[in-house]
Amino acid sequence: MSELEHFKALAAHAALAHVRPGSVVGLGTGSTAAFVIEELGRRLREGELRGITAVPTSLATDRAARDAGIPLVELGREGVDVAIDGMDEVTPGLDAIKGLGGSLAREKVVAAAAREFVLAADHTKGVSVLGERAPVPVEVLPFGHRRTAALLEELGCEATLRRTGGELYVTDNGNPVLDCAVPAGFDAHAFAAAVDRLPGVVAHGLFLGMASIAYLGGPDGVVTITRGAGGDGAAPS
């Protein structure tokens, strides 16, 4: 395991402290979520946790969870007790960018349905402001995606249609993704609200005010970002 993978595993294991016996767990997508799935499966097999069911946020997570022996359920009206997911950027205020792995729409549905939304990642994902390193992924309908890209660019970003190996990338929902590079100092809340109003947009990767805690694994162990009384992230502990 590489050092970065070790950091992801540390954070993933710390996040699992939020899973209680009998919980319905939202399982995120990506390389950090893979450590959550692996460890949750182990704890179930070894009887350390009982009565867990889980809602996967992607086809890849569905497969990995089945392989790990985690019982899966559909997302029901009652939502989930806790959702655990990775992220591409997180601020000290617990705002995040997600979706470089392409599962942002399902991840957002599950995060919004969670009584507790827990983020886990290696320490390189910590930023002081959103957009520092990652674009904001925007999943859009195939119909009119060029027009949607133009509307996004009118909001001040640079929208690039995602491709993998030269092929058009499509999500598990069959939709393309526009990766939007945002200018330094952009107003994430105003941008998110404007993107939400655009026809053709399915979901965007700004997860603002959704997470209750984030765990960042790094050389000094796991740093925790919590929500302070004023709604800002408290000093890491």
In the complex, which residues of this chain contact ligand A5P (CB under 6 A)?
Answer: 28-32, 85-88, 98-104, 107
Secondary structure, 3-state, 118-156: EEEEEHHHECCCCCCCCCEEEEECCCCHHHHHHHHHHCC
Nearer to ligand A5P, 7 or 186 (CB): 7
**Does 158 participate in catalysis according to the annotation?**
no
Q: What count of residues does the chain have?
A: 237
Strands 24-27 and 80-85: parallel
Least distance CB 191 / ligand A5P (angstroms): 18
Report, in Å, the least distance between residue 119 CB and ligand A5P.
9
Cα gap 34→61, rounded to integer Å: 8
Question: 103: helix, coil or strand?
Answer: coil
Whichever of 200 and 205 has its CB closer to ligand A5P, that residue is 205
Burial class of residue 65, CB neighbours in 10 A (0-12, 13-18, 19+): buried
Nearer to ligand A5P, 81 or 89 (CB): 89
To the nearest whole angstrom, how small is the minimum distance from the Cβ of residue 219 to ligand A5P? 18
Catalytic residue among 107, 139, 153, 158: 107
Q: Known catalytic residues?
A: 107
